[in-house]
Structure 1
């Protein structure tokens, strides 16, 4: 008898202990934080701030979504657990019962439906059993409340994109997503797993300001884990609006011009798989427009995205989510000559001398050809920029490489081309207020050795294998010989490396924004613009706080290189023989004089990448316009016409 009593006492203790554990510590996924015995704290997210253009027009807004919720206390009180109510609701909404019933189960709890059918939010709040319902369906439920105990129609704020059809700059503004565990832990309670936080773009960079301050409810919880009474409430404080430097009309025109230019390039037979365009305001470095192709409608994140659409958005280097203005670095081709010319002056070149533009130039055992192997003979440096003569810059590169010490040079210090490129900000990020920016690359001797050490084993294996999968013998032999060379001496910084650098080819890479910054520095005779996107915040009480633009810095353009470049870049657009002249034929250059440089980057195994970087008006530089189209053909035929269309918009805005 005593033994039986002891066992019963022990079992009772275990049951009571487990009940206390369930109430105070164990909670299904997404439950609120327990504040004390029988109470819990429910997180109340704040209304997120909007993202506005420079004149206050919304690029990202908030809208109301109609949801139907069901109270968990009502479900728990019902004899059948609320199944009859949910069946009636499913019939009224013409939705499957299993779908709605699964939503009433808490993810992680015993017997719960599998994610995402279950409810991953708090166990202490009404469950949104049906989201984004029509007004008619909502009315059908509210008209017969006796049939739907515990059911309510609520308005839920969601992100809205009024410019989704054009002008919204989705890659720049970004989107929202559920936070990862690390973000939740680092927030010290400000973010829960149920919240949405900025995943990319401005949404991420300024998440704290946009998110505001969450509130909380303290509720009494009964033994079933159901909230039965609100004990206290602290209302959330809405997030601040961001006023950006973007200009909606210019943004719309830039997106349209880029899309039109890509489509026309494809009509001419080019793949034109990706592209980007940016407009920079030289007064303060503000980004006036930023566009990428392919693009997407950001409302998919609010309206729901299918698995197939999610994979399209997030997979591969053609993902529409990629900001190709700041996040993709690629060889800038002949637009880089605006960097090499000041480098040539720093190396001792006299801009009053004539230079020989031959069809080709031989360095060691390799011949470097001019574009289309055209020769212009003895010409001025100004003419060399206008016609984009490669061989002039090859000779500069060879001299710089030799003066540096050739193959025996230990570092890049004193290499005039590399030093000038770095002085102009290349090889490092611009510091724009976005969370992900590529630094690009100015390849030098140290980088070459690091690259060789990391790839040597693969190169040697490739040389031994000999590319048997390639049927073309000459190509197979070339790639095999290249792999063997990289295996044996890939660490050497050869004269060909410097030659490729001089015309923006080979291993040098830059983002479109970096090249826009370089041309802004040239346009202003050495004042480097500091790109940024936010100019002010507006608190929920209407208080506006300005955000000072980043400080500029002065860059030395040696000798008369800046003045010559500005003249020569104007020739590129306006003079016979200029590589962008045909693109600007008929353009009102007297009223809106444009200067710029085309670039056509050769990419192994792909079509050429088209570049055009420009600024205007040359009489008083105000805007930089830069365009790049991957696999788009030549800069003059594809990128420059896109820039022209953007300049047409800018000229109208200025007027």
Structure 2
């Protein structure tokens, strides 16, 4: 017995040491799980104690000028499951979720994935995981049919922790026409930079404006979030709400948009694009805008291709989201403000005042020949037509190119030719004074500034592209089968490689008719024509009109300051007369498009444009205003690869004017 006692004691001590070691490991692991395995400040996995849960505010609506909703709020039926019931269940809640999947006829994997926290170990991939807080019930199924959801409440014993809730979501009552989706924008989850910059006002579970007015006025529409203080147990599960601060709803935004005009504009643009395609044109994109000259408010803004914005409320898939956001033909692009392209002959309304600033006497007749020679290059009139000696008013009416080539060539010489700088070029200066080459300042994100290609820009462009041009010159474009096109592009690359920095007379000639490197947005050209219509008073385009707080208080939106532009000599009055001839007089380039239109009751003035784009079909432009005798509205239309301005863009504008004259 005495011999065995020491052995027994040794065994007991060894067992105690092992148990102590295991207990230490267990305690260490628990401490690691609670203190170190989760990011600091991550409220999705909370420590025992209390935590704060954000309560999003009801977002304000977007209304037209008469209070009709363009973007509204509707109620969506969701099914949620309480995280405490999941944690309490032996199987983690799998049986409950499986019964839910059967009752709602939804895949189990999708519903189960929703119970996992995005970013946590073993979580489902986005968008199946739950990106919100671990302290709130998880919306396991969204947009459920109310009848199907109601059946769950009849057997609560089968669905512990399950609740049916109503959630506000964006609603688009004009989704099938008149909703201006590119202008109003959409909502999306915020990125990390937005969350950090919000100083706690935005969480990763919120939605923020991602385009258009939703983005521009996001803070006004979003309101002020509330919060709920909850008690959290050791599992990170909220077990009791201890206090609550209710959110404050966002304000409604009243816009300058006019629903009937917007609806008519969208319909006219869609019909015009269809007709252009029926005639063999690609018509791959288009835009139209209506500007109210009384205050600069935008009455209508439409883009093609377009889309049904209710896709956001239904829950867009990643595949659908990529279709909406990828490429130059994305239907989310606002082609009124976000796309700049050569304005073609509509730019002659800019070049004519520039010609007067250069010393041109508008009382003199000018030669409208079929072509004009500059160095070793021939610049042709449209369709090589010749009109002989004509007045400047006639030159605008028939859209003569060679008249402007002559002026541009003389301006280039007077500036000093190849050795000149940009100071004092009257054509370039006039374009800038009329607001081109700079954003209009409209209250929308991502507005394009367009481009006025002067000598400084030419040098910068050459510096940036010289190496690529030289490589293409050496390669000779072997991938192009067409010999003529291959030779042209190779010669162009050689020229750009060796002397692409030079501002040549051909550059000034192309500039004078809105071709070459000059680009402008549709809204910029609408503003130019509004300035001409009002004899130098430049409209300030805007969309915001007022905000309406939840209590009903209405606050006007600050309007931009109107500006004055000097239209030298008789250029303003001559242009207004000539632009009326374009539509009303025989031989005017838009005359046939307005045949049978009541021009006596609603006189329209405007200018067509047909932009040549290398490798593509022509782009059709028409910018107009009415009534010509007392201008009130500007209507501008552009159709990419749509043919001529007179045949495609002008008929679209006519349909819009039909609506405006009934206002």
Fold match (TM-score > 0.5)? yes
Matches within 5 A, 1:371-450: 371-409=382-420, 411-450=421-460
Tell me, yes or no, if structure 1 residue 59 matches structure 2 residue 54: no
Counterpart position of 2:153:
142
Counterpart position of 1:646:
656
Residues 23/492 of structure 1: CA separation in 2 closer, same or farther (3 Å cut)? closer
Counterpart position of 2:269:
258
SS, match of residue 192 in structure 1? coil
Residues 189/501 of structure 1: CA separation in 2 closer, same or farther (3 Å cut)? same
Tell me, yes or no, if structure 1 residue 69 matches structure 2 residue 80: yes
Aligned with residue 357 of structure 1, among 368, 379, 386 = 368
Counterpart position of 2:31:
17
Q: Contact between 1:53 and 1:247, CA under 8 Å: does it hold in 2?
A: yes
Question: How far 1:107 moved relative to its partner?
Answer: 2.3
Question: How far 1:7 moved relative to its partner?
Answer: 4.4
Counterpart position of 1:487:
497
Aligned with residue 471 of structure 1, among 440, 462, 481 = 481
SS, match of residue 298 in structure 1? coil
Q: Contact between 1:355 and 1:381, CA under 8 Å: does it hold in 2?
A: yes
Counterpart position of 2:89:
78
Aligned with residue 215 of structure 2, among 187, 204, 213 = 204
Residues 25/631 of structure 1: CA separation in 2 closer, same or farther (3 Å cut)? closer
| Distance in 2 (alpha carbons) for counterparts of 1:5 and 1:95 | 48
Residues 24/640 of structure 1: CA separation in 2 closer, same or farther (3 Å cut)? closer
Matches within 5 A, 1:444-459: 444-459=454-469
Aligned with residue 341 of structure 2, among 311, 330, 352 = 330
Q: Contact between 2:117 and 2:134, CA under 8 Å: does it hold in 1?
A: yes
Moved more, 326-335 or 460-469: 460-469
| Distance in 2 (alpha carbons) for counterparts of 1:474 and 1:73 | 74
What are the ranges of 5 or more consecutive residues in structure 1 without an aligned counterpart? none
Question: How far 1:9 moved relative to its partner?
Answer: 7.2
Q: Contact between 1:23 and 1:225, CA under 8 Å: does it hold in 2?
A: no
Question: How far 1:13 moved relative to its partner?
Answer: 5.4
Deviations 1:169-211 (A, max 9, x none): 0000000000000000000000001110000000000000000
Tell me, yes or no, if structure 1 residue 556 matches structure 2 residue 566: yes
Residues 491/500 of structure 1: CA separation in 2 closer, same or farther (3 Å cut)? same
SS, match of residue 497 in structure 1? helix
Question: How far 1:348 moved relative to its partner?
Answer: 0.2
| Distance in 1 (alpha carbons) for counterparts of 2:591 and 2:487 | 41
Counterpart position of 1:155:
166
| Distance in 2 (alpha carbons) for counterparts of 1:99 and 1:158 | 21
Tell me, yes or no, if structure 1 residue 106 matches structure 2 residue 127: no
Q: Contact between 1:23 and 1:223, CA under 8 Å: does it hold in 2?
A: no
| Distance in 1 (alpha carbons) for counterparts of 2:127 and 2:398 | 60
Counterpart position of 1:516:
526
What are the ranges of 5 or more consecutive residues in structure 2 without an aligned counterpart? 1-12
| Distance in 2 (alpha carbons) for counterparts of 1:109 and 1:642 | 54
Aligned with residue 31 of structure 1, among 44, 67, 79 = 44
SS, match of residue 652 in structure 1? coil
Number of equivalences:
649
Question: How far 1:12 moved relative to its partner?
Answer: 6.0
| Distance in 1 (alpha carbons) for counterparts of 2:123 and 2:458 | 56
Deviations 1:553-576 (A, max 9, x none): 100000110000000000000001
Q: Contact between 1:102 and 1:113, CA under 8 Å: does it hold in 2?
A: yes
Tell me, yes or no, if structure 1 residue 166 matches structure 2 residue 177: yes
The structure with the larger Rg is 2
Counterpart position of 1:117:
128
Question: How far 1:119 moved relative to its partner?
Answer: 1.6
| Distance in 2 (alpha carbons) for counterparts of 1:247 and 1:234 | 38
Q: Contact between 1:441 and 1:509, CA under 8 Å: does it hold in 2?
A: yes
Question: How far 1:89 moved relative to its partner?
Answer: 1.7
Question: How far 1:612 moved relative to its partner?
Answer: 0.2
Question: How far 1:644 moved relative to its partner?
Answer: 0.3
Question: How far 1:388 moved relative to its partner?
Answer: 0.3
Deviations 1:227-278 (A, max 9, x none): 0111111110000100000000000000000000000000111000000000
| Distance in 1 (alpha carbons) for counterparts of 2:308 and 2:108 | 31
Q: Contact between 2:451 and 2:519, CA under 8 Å: does it hold in 1?
A: yes
Aligned with residue 525 of structure 1, among 522, 535, 538 = 535
Q: Contact between 1:359 and 1:375, CA under 8 Å: does it hold in 2?
A: yes
Q: Contact between 1:23 and 1:38, CA under 8 Å: does it hold in 2?
A: no
| Distance in 1 (alpha carbons) for counterparts of 2:340 and 2:187 | 25
Question: How far 1:470 moved relative to its partner?
Answer: 2.2
Residues 580/149 of structure 1: CA separation in 2 closer, same or farther (3 Å cut)? same
| Distance in 2 (alpha carbons) for counterparts of 1:116 and 1:318 | 25
Counterpart position of 2:553:
543
| Distance in 2 (alpha carbons) for counterparts of 1:377 and 1:490 | 35
Residues 230/482 of structure 1: CA separation in 2 closer, same or farther (3 Å cut)? same
Tell me, yes or no, if structure 1 residue 41 matches structure 2 residue 52: yes
| Distance in 2 (alpha carbons) for counterparts of 1:82 and 1:462 | 64
Residues 309/82 of structure 1: CA separation in 2 closer, same or farther (3 Å cut)? closer
Tell me, yes or no, if structure 1 residue 618 matches structure 2 residue 628: yes
Question: How far 1:81 moved relative to its partner?
Answer: 2.0
Give the TM-score normalised by the residue count of structure 2.
0.96
